[in-house]
Structure 1
């Protein structure tokens, strides 16, 4: 079958259904036809959509694919968002820049440091749950006791954690959250680009403060690293810190929201967390498999002609890597549409793979593990206050997520 015969629009996959492949059968149909299929993005550009697990792993690990494009002005775009919407980085220096960035950040996001941070994350989660309980008491006096878990926990917790880690004032959360929203709008266009410029300027100002008064935080570490690498200029520091601040809270907010929907629509899995605390790790991995933020994926561009199985990917062609379809590939996952916290092994691609494996994976796991375990222990009767199909999705945002998550107990 030729690519022209199976060309289609980039499909979306709901997160909240018992068997997502039945809800969005086009994913299963496309996967059956080829590991890569020719699709159009929401802005009308042609890209290769990766549908199978092994193909996704191979491309994520292949150094012949990158975020940069040999001819940026001709690069296919995924959306009009200012982040992950199109080509990024410098084609001539991408690999060297990426290696330097990883070397700088590994100590800050290492598993060892995340373990040391666990006690602080627990304090922050407990504080958010305390706030949720207090809000519920007020809501009971006024009505049925419904409170918004998104506003009281899913959103503030990752913001608190990433602010503390990077050295960003929590008081500025409304400002950088507004900038995040604007620059990640799929239809943002010029305003998204303007918001990104404002975000970089804001973080650049923080970096200048750290230069005058360094603290034990990541932005101070980045500023200090400039002394050893003159190529790591102020703009590079600001852009890198901007990416960390954006990704460090946006994606985790979405995963907490989606993960709690998965659990609260499966009460036996939620109860099991309190009855068997050791089940939290498996539960979190299954959340990560099924609850990938956003629905479009990330772009990679071929830096040379590449043959993947029977498919030739030409230099400059774009491929869309989304864990959505590969994480439901029946060739790898038995009963792929089911939420199974006992699934083992669970080699999901929720954080990517290879050299581009998400550097914040340990942090996200720590936040998710602490959040779901604490809620199950402290609020065992927690339940959704509205039907799942009444939840409002942030469909215009790059990372997706929920507008609100009404709950009761």
Structure 2
């Protein structure tokens, strides 16, 4: 029975495959005279008859396909229309004819696969009509039903006549069945050759697998030894892991402590940054002030450069005057003798100088020497001191003045060399000197 099921399955595969390929190449609706379609119905009839129980009747023993197909309308109400059409079809007198008509109508509706799938799922009902080893009750039946789904792409318009379906196999049907048998035989031969080739490949593969098995057994032994070593290594690693986890916990505690310290330091640094930003702002303002002073200093440098050029001119004039002074010294030596004659007059002049010293001491009696940090503005012009405007003491009155207000030099009784005096003291001292007779 298993061999019969396999042969029927192969015939069904070839028939359905050939029908689909020829129908797609045919490209139009199939009719009842299409040979591949006739072959398909013959094969389906043999598949449905396989393992069908023989029932007794008045005419003898009979195998009827109509019984199991008639169950479909109970399982699917939509199939009731086909069953009713088959029963009402004129000229149908035998159950085999009704079964043939049912198959053709189901194919035209493209529901043949759906109806047979419902039928094979109810093996409890099919067991009344089929033997236990029948194709419809085994896996081959499910495979054939799955193949029938591909027939939904085919459009068929079949002529269903009762007389044709009730009749036994005609010469044409025998020819169709013979052609089907030849194709099935050819397909089976091809499958046999393919299976034989696969057997050789499987034998070679088995030999390779056996060789591989020997290698694998050796590798297994090596792996078992390696596993033992690995297990030992794993135990050591676990001990190491426990120690590392303890170290990790300690490191986490240290990290938490360091994080807290970092938070405190971050807060401190933020405060320092704010303070530094304020200092930076002040420094920028101071820098701007210095830049302004620098511009003023540059102006002063330019002025001093001009004055330096003038000084260079004065130096040349000074050298010229030195030469003249040498000449004048010679003249002066000649005139020293004349100066001796003027000694008496010089004595009188010294007495006058003593008087002037006493007067100067009297003026300096109330003098106060002002400290640098106590003066912020010039005493005379009242301009604020800065880097470019520096402080200068008057050697006569002790007050602090800027350069322009104390740019005078006169010899004082306390200092034989000329010293810096302010404009006011300069004018006063000149007035005193002019009031005394020369």
Which bracket does the TM-score occupy, shorter chain normalised? under 0.3
Q: Please report the TM-score for the alignment, with normalisation by the length of structure 2.
A: 0.21
Greater RCO (CA < 8 Å, at least 6 residues apart): 1
Q: Indicate the structure (1 or 2) with the bigger Cα radius of gyration.
A: 2
Kindly indicate which of the two structures has a greater share of residues assigned to helix.
2
